Amino acid sequence: MNRRQVLLAALALSTSAKSIFGATQPPRLRIGLTAVILADQAAFLSRWSRYLEQRLQCPVAFVARESYQDVNDLLFANQLDAAWICGYPYVLNQTRLKLLAVPLYQGKPLYRSYLIRPRGDAAKIRNWADLRGKVLAYSDPLSNSGWLVAQSQLAANGIGARDLKRSFFTHGHSHVAEAVAARLASAGSIDGYVWETMRLQGMAAAEQTEVAWQSDLYGFPPLVVHRSPSHPRTETLQQALLAMGADEEGRTLLNELNLDGFVAGEPALFRSIRKLALIFTPGVQSRGGLS
């Protein structure tokens, strides 16, 4: 290929890119999240990013990390433009974060925490009071359903950390179900939406476990951005998420997530999580959180 052919090829690529994203392409929009409960996570996120790219007219990349802390660190280091986190880290950092969208699950922006046990172990684990001397699996230290709610229930039943035989973090709600199914834990604190979605997908860990207890309703894990977002397409991202239920491709993606759509949401949705955080997060007020 001679020099003229190289220049023509470069021009063609440039023209193609402009036709997709416009003459002045905005920077890549990066969305952080922890593991999505899908067998084909990579393929799903690829399709979701393409769907959003068509509507935002800019490149979109999902950045998956193991823990909420990892996602938070990237967000506050300006290495993410938006993040799908839990309500607990949202209320801890509410002065720095703004709600972008809240998923609708079973028609509401709400979900529950579950205490699960191995299937058939109802005689051993009926409720939180039966966990004395047992092994308990948590999902993440920044999870409302996978840690914070558990702390409130253990305290309400007079069970301290020393009263458990052992506890451990699995760093993922699906891993909580797997640990309980394998009887590495007597019970586990898990996001009810995750467990129900695993069950719908026929995942073995959900089929081999059962629900011992359900919490009251809490605000569903939201998508958030900085209070002063730097990416020019943040508002367009919100509009695209809120409109996903209005077209067939969006509804297909939502169905795979076992969600009904997204709403803008209000901070009041997370008031009950905030109350628990004030009780069970040492030093949160002295660090300037939850103000």
228-244: per-residue pLDDT in tens? 878 999 999 999 999 99
Report helix angle 271-280 to 149-156, nearest 10. Answer: 60
Say whether 113-215 and 16-108+220-273 share the same fold: yes
In three-state form (DSSP H/G/I as H, E/B as E, the rest C), the secondary structure along 56-69 is HCCCEEEEECCCHH
- DSSP H or E segment with residue 43: helix 41-56
Strand bridging mode 113-118 / 135-138: unpaired
- Contact yes or no for 227/97 (Cβ under 8 A): yes
- What percentage of residues in the chain have a pLDDT greater than 70? 88
- pLDDT surpassing 70 at residue 100: yes
What is the distance in angstroms between the CA of the first residue and the CA of the last residue of the chain? 63
Strand bridging mode 29-33 / 60-64: parallel
Rounded distance between C-alpha atoms, residue 234 and residue 242, angstroms: 13
pTM summary value: 0.89
Rounded distance between C-alpha atoms, residue 172 and residue 191, angstroms: 10
Domain ranges of the chain: 16-108+220-273, 113-215
- pLDDT surpassing 90 at residue 81: yes
Q: Name the 3-class secondary structure at 261.
A: strand
For the CA atoms of 195, 200, 202, 205, the dihedral, rounded to the nearest 10 degrees, stands at 10
Give tens-digit pLDDT for 178-188.
999 999 999 99
- Contact yes or no for 260/136 (Cβ under 8 A): no
- pLDDT surpassing 60 at residue 51: yes
Q: What is the pLDDT of the chain when averaged over all its residues?
A: 90
Task: Tell me the sheet residues that pair with 124.
Answer: none
Q: Which overall architecture, per CATH, does domain 16-108+220-273 show?
A: 3-Layer(aba) Sandwich (3.40)
Per-residue pLDDT band at 290 (split at 50, 70, 90): low
Nearest of 222, 232, 280 to residue 86 by alpha carbon: 222
Strand bridging mode 113-118 / 209-214: antiparallel
Q: Quote the tokens at residue 102.
A: 């809240």
Rounded distance between C-alpha atoms, residue 100 and residue 134, angstroms: 40
CA 246, 256, 237 angle in degrees (round to 5)?
A: 50
- Contact yes or no for 112/119 (Cβ under 8 A): no
Q: Which residue has the tokens 């193991």?
A: 66
- DSSP H or E segment with residue 168: strand 166-169
Nearest of 152, 1, 19 to residue 88 by alpha carbon: 152
Q: Quote the tokens at residue 4.
A: 């003229």
Which pLDDT score is estimated for 230?
Answer: 81
- pLDDT surpassing 90 at residue 91: yes
- Contact yes or no for 239/217 (Cβ under 8 A): no
Which pLDDT score is estimated for 282?
Answer: 78
Domain 113-215 of CATH type 3.40.190.10: yes
Higher pLDDT, 39 or 146: 146
Per-residue pLDDT band at 2 (split at 50, 70, 90): very low
Rounded distance between C-alpha atoms, residue 115 and residue 40, angstroms: 27
Higher pLDDT, 121 or 289: 121
Alpha helices by DSSP H, the chain: 3-21, 41-56, 68-76, 87-92, 149-156, 173-181, 192-200, 204-207, 234-242, 248-256, 271-280
Mean pLDDT for 253-261 is 97
Nearest of 103, 84, 75 to residue 230 by alpha carbon: 75
Which pLDDT score is estimated for 10?
Answer: 44
